[in-house]
């Protein structure tokens, strides 16, 4: 009996050390060396403290900030509740939510970029398109008492190109744009 158990226990201990300790530590070490920002959550720092992640959206509600996509993830950008709403095009709940969001933007649904009215698949999208940012520029410029051209230039400066020039679309990280906006024209209670 001991002859059968001994090899099994030795292999169990060996593979526990290899796959349960050595492999995870090796992968973590490689990640820290080759991709330190991504390996640590793509944290965005302000004055030495973490204010968010470049990968997860945040809720901005003031007129003096750019707003991201609506979130279907729990109570607003809750990463533990990530996922779409599964509301279809014939859903009254979706129509009501879109109408409510359009009222917040103060315009008819047809004039508002669709991404500002609908949540992303994950509900955590931190980006909007340059078109959606430009749509909000007049509101933000007025609220901050800035020239519209200055706000538009800030959007252009924070527009990220498609990866490698071909993968994805041009996009603007809402948190980074709002932090740059605060640097340009600080406000009380900034994030």
Angle 144-146-148 (CA atoms, 0-180°, nearest 5)?
A: 115
pLDDT 10s per residue in the chain (191 long)? 888 899 999 999 999 999 999 999 999 999 999 998 888 888 888 888 988 888 888 888 889 999 998 887 767 777 777 776 777 888 898 888 888 888 888 878 888 999 998 887 777 889 999 999 999 999 999 999 999 999 999 999 999 999 888 998 999 999 999 999 999 876 644 45
Say yes or no: 83 and 153 in one domain.
yes
Say yes or no: 136 and 180 in one domain.
yes
Query: For the whole model, what pTM was predicted?
Result: 0.79
Say yes or no: 28 and 61 in one domain.
no
Q: Give me the domain span that covers residue 10.
A: 2-36
What are the E-state strand segments in 5-79? 43-46, 49-53
Say yes or no: 27 and 115 in one domain.
no
Say yes or no: 10 and 69 in one domain.
no
Greatest CA separation found in the chain?
84
Say yes or no: 123 and 62 in one domain.
yes
Q: Supply 63's token pair.
A: 């007129």
Q: Would 190 be classed as within a structural domain? A: no
């Amino acid at each position: 009996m001991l002859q059968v158990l001994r090899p099994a226990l030795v292999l169990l201990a060996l593979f526990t050390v290899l796959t349960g300790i050595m492999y995870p530590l090796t992968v973590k070490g490689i990640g820290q060396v080759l991709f330190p920002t991504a390996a640590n959550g793509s944290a965005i720092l302000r004055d030495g403290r973490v204010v968010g992640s470049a990968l997860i959206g945040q809720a901005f509600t003031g007129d003096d900030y750019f707003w991201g996509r609506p979130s279907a993830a729990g109570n607003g950008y809750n990463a533990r509740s990530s996922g779409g709403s599964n509301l279809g095009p014939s859903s009254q709940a979706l129509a009501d939510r879109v109408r409510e969001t359009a009222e917040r933007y103060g315009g008819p649904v047809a004039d508002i970029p669709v991404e500002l009215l609908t949540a992303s698949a994950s509900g955590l999208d931190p980006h909007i398109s340059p078109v959606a940012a430009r749509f909000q520029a007049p509101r933000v410029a007025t609220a901050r008492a800035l020239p519209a051209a200055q706000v538009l230039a800030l959007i252009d400066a924070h527009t990220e190109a498609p990866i490698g020039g071909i993968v994805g679309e041009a996009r603007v990280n809402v948190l980074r744009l709002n932090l740059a906006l605060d640097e340009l024209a600080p406000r009380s209670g900034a994030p």
